[in-house]
Structure 1
Amino acid sequence: MSHNLGLKIDSENRFDKFVKKIIETQLVWGLKSEDGWCVSPSNGFEETDVMPFWSERALAKQCAIEEWVHYSPQTIPLDDFANTWIPGLDNDNLLIGTNWNAHLLGKEIEPLELLACLVQKEL
């Protein structure tokens, strides 16, 4: 198995956990500072930015290092995330990063594609 394929499978597993956990807890975690929510350049798409989110505080916190050290985990109710954030991110042409690891790697998904996954799994 190639290294890239291993990362892709790992990212898909973390994505599945993300969807299950946020439906279960009804919470999504992001990283926020005084300047706002963190955004990162995409790992896969040129000139595209990604706003990362996590299903658990600890997972978000492990990414609040180096250039993101001034960010801290904040919750967003799933209802707000689905009804306000996802359409807003779609309008802003941002991708959503899900359960990124400490190397800031993970699945990047179109906002409306994530919404479809949530609805399919009974948001």
Structure 2
Amino acid sequence: MFQDSATTIENYERFVRRVIESGEVWGIKHPDGTWATSESNEFEETLVYVFWSDKSYAKRHCKEVWSDSVPSLIGLDSFIDNWLRGMHTDGHLVGPNWDAHLFGLEVEPVELAQRLIESDS
């Protein structure tokens, strides 16, 4: 089941707004130290790192194959300076506030970094 584009855009906007307000980004960290990713729904052989604006959103995804994983906090500055820069260099995408079916916008890391920096000004 896929969301309509208005819902995916709304989730993206919520991500940007809440992350700016809280200064926090939430990912899911596996016991081996790796972070939750998904295959792109749009592009072949492209990895999407999924992140949420709230711990509760991330926690909802700690089930099934991610059941032994935990929500993990990333500070906004580190997310922009390290995570997004690294994902851009490695050719990965960002999945902000994906839904329970792991569907949502797939965003270029540079685009999200610019959006977060501009919105914070």
Q: Which bin holds the TM-score, normalised by the shorter protein? A: over 0.9
The letter of the residue matching 1:101 is D
The letter of the residue matching 2:31 is E
Give the 3-state SS of the residue equivalent to 1:12 in structure 2. Answer: helix
Instruction: Name the CA distance, whole Å, in 2 between partners of 1:7 and 1:105.
Output: 10
Match of residue 118 from structure 1? 116
Q: How many residues align?
A: 120
**After the TM superposition, which parts of structure 1 deviate over 2 Å for at least 4 consecutive aligned residues?**
none
TM-score (norm 2): 0.93
The letter of the residue matching 2:23 is Q
Answer yes or no: is 1:26 the counterpart of 2:23: yes
Instruction: Name the CA distance, whole Å, in 2 between partners of 1:108 and 1:70.
Output: 25
Instruction: Name the CA distance, whole Å, in 2 between partners of 1:72 and 1:91.
Output: 26
Structure 2 counterparts to residues 99-118 of structure 1, below 5 A: 99-118=97-116
Instruction: Name the CA distance, whole Å, in 2 between partners of 1:7 and 1:58.
Output: 23
Q: Could you list the runs of 5+ residues in structure 2 that have no partner in the other structure?
A: none
How far residue 40 of structure 1 moved from its aligned partner, in angstroms, is 0.9
TM-score (norm 1): 0.92
Match of residue 10 from structure 1? 7
Instruction: Name the CA distance, whole Å, in 2 between partners of 1:47 and 1:108.
Output: 14
Give the 3-state SS of the residue equivalent to 2:71 in structure 1. Answer: strand
Instruction: Name the CA distance, whole Å, in 2 between partners of 1:59 and 1:44.
Output: 23
Q: Could you list the runs of 5+ residues in structure 1 that have no partner in the other structure?
A: none
Instruction: Provide the identity percentage.
Output: 39
Instruction: Name the CA distance, whole Å, in 2 between partners of 1:33 and 1:68.
Output: 7
What's the RMSD between the two structures over aligned residues? 1.4
Match of residue 64 from structure 1? 62
